[in-house]
Amino acid sequence: MNPVATLTDLAAGLTAGDFSSVELIRYYLDRIERLDAHYNSFITVTGELALAQAAAADARLHAGNATPLTGLPIAHKDIFCTRGVRTTCGSRMLDNFIAPYDATAVASLATAGVVMLGKTNMDEFAMGSSCETSFYGPVHNPWDTSRVPGGSSGGSAAAVAAGLTPAATGTDTGGSIRQPAALTGICGLKPTYGAVSRYGMVAFASSLDQGGPMARSVADIALLFDAMAGFDAKDSTSAVRDAADLAAAQGAATSGQRLTIGLPKEYFGVLADTAFARVYDEARRTLEALGHRFVEVSLPHTPFAVPTYYVIASAEASTNLARYDGVRYGYRCAAPTGLTDLYERSRSEGFGREVKRRILTGTYALSVGYFDAYYLKAQRVRRLIRDDFTKAFETVDALLAPTAPGTAFPIGQISDPVEMYQQDVFTVPASLAGIPALAVPCGFHQGLPVGMQLMGAHFNEPRLLALGGAFQRATDWHLRTPNLPG
Amino acid sequence: MQWESVIGLEIHVQLATRSKIFSGATTAFGAAPNTQACGLDIALPGTLPVLNEAAVRMAVTFGVAIGADISARCVFDRKNYFYPDLPKGYQISQFERPIVGTGRIDLRLDDGATRTIRITRAHLEEDAGKSLHEDFAGMTGIDLNRAGMPLLEIVSEPDLHNAKEAAAYFRQMHTLVRYLGICDGNLNEGSMRCDANVSVRPIGTTTLGERTEIKNLNSFRFLERAIDYEIARQIEVLETGGRIRRETRLYDSDRDETRTMRTKELSDDYRYFPEPDLLPVVIDQEFIATVRSSLPELPHQKRTRYIGALGLSDYAATWLTDDPSVARFFEAVLAACGEAKLAANWVMGDWSAALNRSELHPDASTISAAQLGALIERVRAGTINGKIAKTLFESLWNAADPNRTVDDLIREQGLAQVADTGELAELIRRVIADNPEQAAQFRAGKEKVFGFFVGQIMKATQGRADPLHVNTLLREAFAAT
Contact state of B45 with A89 under an 8 Å Cβ cutoff: yes
**Nearest residue on chain A to B51, alpha-carbon basis:** A236
* Among the listed residues B236, B251, B296, B246, the one whose alpha carbon sits nearest the alpha carbon of residue B65: B296
SS3 A77: strand
Q: Are B214 and B249 in contact (CB under 8 A)?
A: yes
The Cα–Cα gap between A121 and A131 comes to: 8
Backbone angles phi, psi at A248, to 5 degrees: -65, -45
**pLDDT recorded at residue B345:** 96
Q: End of a domain among B368, B395, B412? A: B412
The Cα–Cα gap between A174 and A152 comes to: 9
Q: How near does any CA of chain A get to the CA of B90, in Å?
A: 7
Contact state of B277 with A322 under an 8 Å Cβ cutoff: no
Q: Does one domain contain both B203 and B95?
A: yes
Q: Does one domain contain both B278 and B361?
A: no
This prediction has a pTM of 0.91
Q: Does one domain contain both B364 and B442?
A: no
CATH number reported for the structural domain that contains residue A45 in this entry: 3.90.1300.10
Is residue B17 in some structural domain? yes
**Nearest residue on chain A to B24, alpha-carbon basis:** A234
Contact state of B276 with A367 under an 8 Å Cβ cutoff: no
Which residues of A fall within a CB distance of 8 Å from B42? 328-329
The Cα–Cα gap between A26 and B98 comes to: 56
Q: Does one domain contain both B84 and B137?
A: yes
Contact state of B82 with A325 under an 8 Å Cβ cutoff: yes
Across chain A, what does the average pLDDT equal? 96
β-pairing, B77-80 vs B3-14, is unpaired
The amino acid that residue B42 corresponds to is I
Which residues of A fall within a CB distance of 8 Å from B282? none
Site from A201, A346, A355, A366 to mutate, B interface, most B CB atoms within 10 angstroms:
A366
For residue B280, the enclosing domain spans 3-287
Is residue B93 in some structural domain? yes
Backbone angles phi, psi at A396, to 5 degrees: -125, 155
Which residues of B fall within a CB distance of 8 Å from A313? none
Which residues of B fall within a CB distance of 8 Å from A328? 42-43, 87, 142
CATH number reported for the structural domain that contains residue B460 in this entry: 1.10.10.410
Is residue B202 in some structural domain? yes
Work out how many domains chain B is built from and give that number. 3
Is residue A143 in some structural domain? yes
Is residue B32 in some structural domain? yes
Contact state of A363 with B271 under an 8 Å Cβ cutoff: yes
Q: Would you give per-residue pLDDT tens digits along chain A (486 residues)?
A: 888 899 999 999 999 999 999 999 999 999 999 999 999 999 999 999 999 999 999 999 999 999 999 999 999 999 999 999 999 999 999 999 999 999 999 999 999 999 999 999 999 999 999 999 999 999 999 999 999 999 999 999 999 999 999 999 999 999 999 999 999 999 999 999 999 999 999 999 999 999 999 999 999 999 999 999 999 999 999 998 776 666 666 666 665 689 999 999 999 999 988 899 999 999 999 999 999 999 999 999 999 999 999 999 999 999 999 999 999 999 999 999 999 999 999 999 999 999 999 999 999 999 999 999 999 999 999 999 999 999 999 999 999 999 999 999 999 999 999 999 999 999 999 999 999 999 999 999 999 999 999 999 999 999 999 999 999 999 999 999 999 886
Q: End of a domain among B240, B264, B287? A: B287
Is residue B41 in some structural domain? yes
A268: burial class by Cβ within 10 Å (0-12, 13-18, 19+)?
Answer: middle
Return all residues near B231 (Cβ < 8 A) that are at least 6 apart.
B3, B5, B162, B163, B198, B200
Backbone angles phi, psi at B6, to 5 degrees: -125, 125
**Nearest residue on chain B to A343, alpha-carbon basis:** B82
SS3 B64: helix
User: What number is the ipTM of this complex?
Assistant: 0.96
Contact state of A200 with B46 under an 8 Å Cβ cutoff: yes
Is residue B292 in some structural domain? no
The Cα–Cα gap between B93 and B96 comes to: 10
Q: End of a domain among B266, B287, B308? A: B287
Q: Does one domain contain both B34 and B84?
A: yes
Helices (H), B147-219: 163-179
Q: Does one domain contain both B99 and B196?
A: yes
Is residue A234 in some structural domain? yes
Q: How near does any CA of chain B get to the CA of A204, in Å?
A: 10
**Nearest residue on chain B to A100, alpha-carbon basis:** B39
Which of B44, B89, B269 comes nearest A325 by C-beta? Answer: B89
**Nearest residue on chain A to B82, alpha-carbon basis:** A322
Contact state of A323 with B43 under an 8 Å Cβ cutoff: yes
Q: Does one domain contain both B174 and B37?
A: yes
Q: A274-289 vs A461-474: helix axis angle to the nearest 10?
A: 100
Q: Does one domain contain both B92 and B140?
A: yes
**pLDDT recorded at residue B388:** 85
Which residues of B fall within a CB distance of 8 Å from A319? 78, 80, 89-90, 271, 273
A-facing residues of B in 245-304 (CB < 8 A) are: 267, 269, 271-273, 276-279
Is residue A202 in some structural domain? yes
Is residue A390 in some structural domain? no
The Cα–Cα gap between A462 and B310 comes to: 70
Q: Does B37 touch chain A (CB under 8 A)?
A: no
**Nearest residue on chain A to B38, alpha-carbon basis:** A100
Q: How near does any CA of chain A get to the CA of B243, in Å?
A: 27
The residues that bridge with B453 in the sheet, in sequence order, are: none
Cα torsion A422, A426, A427, A431 to 10°: value is: 110
* Among the listed residues A413, A475, A481, A471, the one whose alpha carbon sits nearest the alpha carbon of residue A447: A481
Is residue A468 in some structural domain? yes
Catalytic residues of A: 77, 152, 176
Q: Are B203 and B209 in contact (CB under 8 A)?
A: no
Is residue B267 in some structural domain? yes
Cα torsion A367, A385, A177, B47 to 10°: value is: 50
Work out how many domains chain A is built from and give that number. 1
Chain centroid offset of residue A470 CA: 22
For residue A22, the enclosing domain spans 7-257+461-479
The beta-strand segments (E) located in A328-404 are 398-402
Is residue A341 in some structural domain? no
β-pairing, A448-455 vs A398-402, is antiparallel
Return all residues near A161 (Cβ < 8 A) that are at least 6 apart.
A141, A142, A143, A149, A184, A185, A186, A481, A482
A-facing residues of B in 42-101 (CB < 8 A) are: 42-51, 78, 80, 82, 84, 87-90
Is residue A290 in some structural domain? no
Which of A94, A101, A316 comes nearest B39 by C-beta? Answer: A101
Q: Are A456 and A398 in contact (CB under 8 A)?
A: yes
Q: Which residues of A touch B (CB under 8 A)?
A: 80-81, 87, 89, 94, 97, 99-101, 103, 198-203, 205-207, 233-237, 315-316, 318-319, 322-323, 325, 327-329, 339, 343, 363, 366-368, 371, 375
Helix (H) or strand (E) holding B426: helix B421-434
**pLDDT recorded at residue B442:** 87
Return all residues near B466 (Cβ < 8 A) that are at least 6 apart.
B382, B385, B417, B419
